[in-house]
Amino acid sequence: MKLSGAEIIWECLIREGVDVVFGYPGGAILPTYDALNKYTDRIHHVLVRHEQGATHMADGYARASGRVGVAIATSGPGATNMVTGLATAMMDSTPMVCITGQVPLNAIGTDAFQETDVTGCTLPVTKHNYLVTDIHELAYTIREAFHIARTGRPGPVLVDIPKDVQNQVIDFIYPEGPIELPGYQPPKEAHEADLVAALELIKAAQKPIILAGHGVTMSGAEKELRDFAEITQTPIALTILGKGAIDEKHPLVIGMMGMHGEAAANQAIQEADLLIALGMRFDDRVTGNTKSYSPNSRKIHVEIDPSEINKNIQVDVGINGDLATVLRQLNPRLKSLEHKAWFRQIMDWKEDTNMRDIVQNSLPDGKLWAPHVIADIWKFTGGEAVTSTDVGQHQMWEAQYYPHARPRTLLTSGGLGTMGFGFPAAIGAKFAMPEEEVWAIVGDGGFQMTLCELATAKQENININIAIINNAYLGMVRQWQQMFYNERYIATPMVNPDFVLLAEAYGIPARRITTREEIEGAVEWARSINGPALLEFVVEQHDIVYPMVPAGADLHDMIRRPTDLVSQDWDNPNAV
């Protein structure tokens, strides 16, 4: 059948299983939007208010569902507005395809109206990108883009399509058959020699620990992880993106690792004689000072991306392969092990860690504390909600006080640390999983970066709850200023709008909460609303996220409570 390039785009998206697209129209992508009229019964288009919001929605959709998220925009500023969302997805390995319009072929390179070299702009922040100059290559290019986005280490792919290519007409035949890309052959199974070497280290270890990252969920290896840990009786520490890969109430889970992780988890890593890193990349927020990181341990690293092995931390056995597949190879060969003395030591450390909870649970009345808000949202949702966050103090409190029992229930920007991610990501997640309860837990600073998407939430009547943790500061930056810059609060105090009136201006019901006693009623009220609802929690301004490993410090050298701050010299203003 004869189809235009614009129609071919929609035909390919349907064949890739796409049912929702987040986008914003413009001149260079207008032929594709015009063609959408023929496909509205099969693809739902969500009109965003900013193209960055479109990418975060597609990202949230992908993280919540495991499917490829799709965003669409016009050329020039429409395309460049997507860069932050692409970088966010790239850092966190989110499968996403972005389609952008481009000026006609004969105008490329002339500085035409709304022309930008978007493939050049996005080359560092995409897994791959394309400029389609021949309509005969369009269908295969889109199919290839989805293949690259979802296979191996997932990531975002951008397809830039000139306006005249969208308008051209050809006989359309969908390209069937396997995708063959020379040089791109993501590994599956591990080499036998690597398996044998890993098994020897596992058998010999007396103080092993599993480091479970985002790759567990990306590969669908949750059952294999649990089986491995239970057979070998090995404790599990989680990265922030690894939360939910195994129920955090499982007796083998010792908590989140890293800068704001559990002291017991960090201490166990430092004292371990074997690290088993599964689908994680030894990010600096996880390791602290790499020179002193787990100094006496042997190390096994299972990772789909070979460039991550020995990049930040040198390991003894690097296994390049799909994590679920590798664990299916390893698990049948494992023998039951016990590490009772090791667990007793970890439990002793956890007793010390629990002091943080004692302090937080005995915070004085009369003020609303952010940890109380997070803990109560967890309590009154039964711990079953899908949550998304921005970046900062509220993100760390969510990680500490909202345990996750299921995969794909915490959506947060881990690698790039993108403010403004949480709210639009929640919208995308709700489209992906309409039966799930979804909460956007956001800071007052990050929320204002993408609050224009309140109009999108209202227009779609999307049933999500927004919890703003309002401390009238850029909280995490203020925390660093308080700790390391002698309380010089430069450019962090914020004059905020009345968030309740703001939501109501968009036609969204909202409430303000100032005491802990109000939380339960407010949460239940928000859950009863059929559509978006907003809760503003006015919390204590000068609260601090404990514990904390200062950037560049040794992993075990944590600030666990205020007395640690004054008892040691933590002046490190040059740390990132």
Mean pLDDT of the 292-297 span: 96
Give me the phi and psi of 3, to 5 degrees please: -135, 150
Whether 192-349 and 358-538 share one fold: the answer is yes
Q: Is residue 178 packed enough to be buried (19+ CB in 10 Å), middle (13-18) or exposed (0-12)?
A: exposed
Q: Tell me the CATH class for 192-349.
A: alpha beta
Closest C-alpha to 139, from 15, 322, 319: 15
Output the DSSP codes for 234-302.
--EEE-GGGTTSS-TTSTTEEEE-STTS-HHHHHHHHH-SEEEEES----HHHHSSGGGSSTT-EEEEE
Cα–Cα dist 521/517, whole Å: 8
Residue-range domain boundaries for the chain? 2-171, 192-349, 358-538
- Give the pLDDT confidence of 82-96 residue by residue, as tens digits: 999 999 999 999 999
Say if residues 467 and 426 touch (Cβ distance below 8 Å). Answer: no
Q: What is the pLDDT of residue 574?
A: 46
The amino acid at 83 = V
Q: Report CA Rg, the chain.
A: 24
Confidence of residue 566 (pLDDT cuts 50, 70, 90): very low
Q: How far apart are the first and last CA of the chain?
A: 56
Mean residue pLDDT across the chain: 94
CA–CA dist 553, 258 (Å, integer): 11
Q: Cα(20)–Cα(533) distance, rounded to whole angstroms?
A: 23
Q: Which two tokens stand for residue 245?
A: 């890969």
User: Is it the case that residue 263 has pLDDT exceeding 80?
Assistant: yes
Q: What's residue 576's pLDDT?
A: 43
Amino acid at 488: R
Q: What per-residue confidence (pLDDT) applies to 575?
A: 46
> Which residues touch 567 (CB under 8 Å, ≥6 apart)?
none
Q: What is the pLDDT of residues 506-547, one digit of tens each?
A: 999 999 999 999 999 999 999 999 999 999 999 999 999 988
Which positions ≥6 away from 449 have C-beta within 8 Å? Answer: 419, 420
Indicate the SS3 state at residue 211: strand
Distance of CA 39 to the CA centre of its chain: 31
Q: Which residues belong to the active site?
A: 51, 113-114, 163, 476
Please check whether residue 244 is in contact with residue 406, taking contact to mean a CB–CB distance below 8 angstroms. yes
DSSP string, 92-114: TT--EEEEEEE--GGGTTTT-TT
- Give the pLDDT of residue 177: 86
Strand 410-411: give its sheet, edge to edge.
410-411, 386-389, 438-443, 465-470, 533-538, 510-513
CA proximity to 166, closest of 44, 34, 68, 77:
34
Q: Which residues pair with 441 in a beta bridge?
A: 389, 467
Residue type (1 letter), 31: P
Of 156, 403, 153, give the one whose Cα is nearest residue 279. Answer: 153
Arithmetic mean of pLDDT, 233-243: 98
Tell me the whole-structure pTM to 2 decimals.
0.96
Residue 148 φ then ψ, to 5°: -65, -40
CATH 3.40.50.970 assigned to domain 358-538? The reply is yes
Distance (Å, rounded) from C-alpha 55 to C-alpha 84? 8
Place of tokens 């993280």: 63
- Choice between 474 and 358, residue whose per-residue pLDDT is larger: 474
pLDDT above 90 coverage of the chain, percent: 90
Instruction: Report d(CA 89, CA 469) in Å as an integer.
Output: 25
Assign 562 a pLDDT band (cuts: 50, 70, 90): low
If one compares 234 and 354, the residue with the highest pLDDT of the two is 234
SS3 content of the chain, % helix, strand, coil (to 5): 45, 15, 40
Given a contact cutoff of 8 angstroms between Cβ atoms, the answer to whether 54 and 24 are in contact is yes
Can you tell me whether residue 144 is helix, strand or coil?
Answer: helix
Q: pLDDT at position 570, please?
A: 44
- Lowest-pLDDT range of 338-352, 428-442, 492-506: 338-352
Evaluate whether 540 touches 469 at the Cβ level (below 8 Å): no
Which pLDDT band, with edges at 50, 70 and 90, does 568 fall under?
very low
- In angstroms, the CA 564 to CA 495 distance is 32
The one-letter amino acid code at 568 reads Q
What does the alpha-carbon distance between residue 420 and residue 413 come to, in Å, rounded to a whole number?
Answer: 10
Of 349 and 414, more confident: 414
- The strand order across the sheet containing 208-212 reads 253-256, 236-238, 208-212, 274-278, 298-303, 317-320
The arithmetic mean of pLDDT across residues 284-289, rounded, is 95
User: Which residue, among 85, 73, 56, 99, has the nearest Cα to 431 in the 3D structure?
Assistant: 56
In this predicted structure, the answer to whether residue 359 has a pLDDT above a threshold of 70 is no
Closest by Cα among 246, 183, 184 to 213: 246
If you count them, how many residues does the chain have? 576
CA angle 494, 499, 500 (to 5 degrees): 155
User: How many angstroms separate the CA atoms of 300 and 210, rounded?
Assistant: 10
Q: What integer pLDDT is reported at residue 366 of this predicted model?
A: 78
Q: Does 2-171 carry CATH code 1.10.10.10?
A: no
pLDDT for 360 equals 61
pLDDT given for residue 367 in this prediction: 87
Residue whose entry in the numeric block shows the structure tokens 């500061």: 473
Round to whole Å and give the CA distance between 80 and 66: 26
Other residues' Cβ atoms within 10 Å of the Cβ of residue 8: 24
Give the separation between CA 9 and CA 145, rounded to whole angstroms. Answer: 12
Average pLDDT over residues 289-314: 97
CA distance 267 to 284: 16
User: Six-digit token pair at 474?
Assistant: 């850029």
Name the helix (H) or strand (E) containing 20: strand 20-23
- Burial-class residue 161 by CB neighbours within 10 Å (0-12, 13-18, 19+): buried
Please write the tens of the pLDDT for every residue from 113-133: 999 999 999 999 999 999 999
